[in-house]
Amino acid sequence: MSHKVVQRVAELAAQLAAHAEETEQAGKLSDKSVALVREAGVMRMLQPTDFGGYAAHPRDFAEAVMAVAGACGSTGWVCGVGGVHPWEMALMDRRLQEEVWGEDPDTWIASPYAPQGVATPTDGGYVLRGRWSFSSGTDHCDWIFLGAMIGNPDGTPMMPPRTLHVVLPRADYTIVDDSWDVIGLCGTGSKDVIVDGAFIPQYRTIDSEEVASGTLAADRAGRTETVYRLPFWAMFPLGITAAVIGIAEGALAAHLDYQRNRITAMGTAIKDDPYVLYAISEAASEIAASRSQLLDGISRLYDLADAGKTIAFEDRSVVRRNQVRCAWRAVSAVDEIFARSGGNAVRKNNALQRFWRDAHVGLQHAIHIPGSIYHSDALTSMGVEPQGMLRALI
């Protein structure tokens, strides 16, 4: 049986879809879309129960993200990215958790994690400077996770590099309002943010390697729930790829609605065209396979953690390989049906074209780049231990 949040999203899906165009035009989630996501509780699925969350199975979280994205791609994307942040916040110092959620458990947290800034050590913490791109949903967030390299006294990054995830309140960073002008996922409002000399107390930081390991951060934070013992590079990609697959499901539904009664310029009813019907069934199967593969991967890792077993690099590598592939498979399926939707599919009043654009932009995220992930996994499957950057993002 579906998680109750997934059921709520299903009940609200028509309303989310009705505000998708408003979200796209605004370049950020509409106020109504934000209210609907809050009402459903999607952002609290991975939040710890002691701060008003569900500490849900990550499979349930992914299904909720897919359901949102099937109605509105941009809203689903923000849920997929932002919905993972409460999971990491659960691993942070409890003082920070109280600051973020103590008064309002519905407080949203933004990111990005790319280490595009430098944190220079000082008494009691760090001084942070930098500019970060792609802060999805940032207009609706009161706190932010940022990736940063630890710096030397002169502000240059230490070598070899060591990275942190640091957390700042809204008053300590600037959102660059004109920095999100794109062709897809327009409503995510994934703007740039700037930090110019903000002080970050030590307790608002965490070593990125601790989070990546899957157990070190959980042990330090005293979190025993299975979901918090999973590796970062399984959890963070999960939300993003779930959004892409949900978008593909939305595209398929829009295609079916459009094609059901369509007559081509040659006078052929689509329901009588065996070539289009073949493409529809093949695409539907590919998208369904992508969903299954994504959910299976995170469930396998969860089961290992739940049994108290070590999640090995090989385990993580296989899940990352499959997660990347299922995103590309789903978007390829969308291309097949879009190519058979006729000229009117490109009109802006046809939701199919928005899903098509959103799906392709979703593939541009760094976690969907297959090269090094496939390379690393192939070596691992041969019994060769990947080294250096071939272990990155896994």
Domain 230-391: give its CATH architecture: Up-down Bundle (1.20)
Rounded-to-10 torsion of CA 314, 316, 321, 324: -170
Question: DSSP assignment, residue 283?
Answer: H
CA distances from 176 to 9, 108, 128, 194, 248 (A): 31, 19, 17, 7, 30
Of 66, 60, 193, 215, the residue nearest 137 (C-alpha): 193
Please report, as a single letter, which amino acid is at residue 83. Answer: G
Per-residue pLDDT, averaged over 362-376, amounts to 97
pLDDT of 1: 84
> Is the pLDDT assigned to residue 268 strictly greater than 90?
no
- Quick one: pLDDT band at residue 203, thresholds 50, 70, 90? very high
CATH class entry, domain 109-207? mainly beta
- Quick one: pLDDT band at residue 90, thresholds 50, 70, 90? very high
pLDDT of 313: 95
CB-side neighbour CA atoms (13 Å) of 36: 29
d(CA 306, CA 187): 37
Domain boundary assignment for the chain: 4-106, 109-207, 230-391
Per-residue pLDDT, averaged over 234-259, amounts to 97
pLDDT of 331: 98
- Quick one: pLDDT band at residue 74, thresholds 50, 70, 90? very high
155 Rama class: left (phi>0) / alpha (psi -120 to 50) / beta: left
Domain 4-106: give its CATH architecture: Orthogonal Bundle (1.10)
Mean pLDDT score across all residues of the chain: 96
Summarize pLDDT for 9-51 with one digit per residue, the tens: 999 999 999 999 999 999 999 999 999 999 999 999 999 999 9
> Is the pLDDT assigned to residue 278 strictly greater than 90?
yes
> Is the pLDDT assigned to residue 213 strictly greater than 90?
no
- Quick one: pLDDT band at residue 155, thresholds 50, 70, 90? confident
- Quick one: pLDDT band at residue 154, thresholds 50, 70, 90? confident
> Is the pLDDT assigned to residue 263 strictly greater than 90?
no
pLDDT of 381: 96
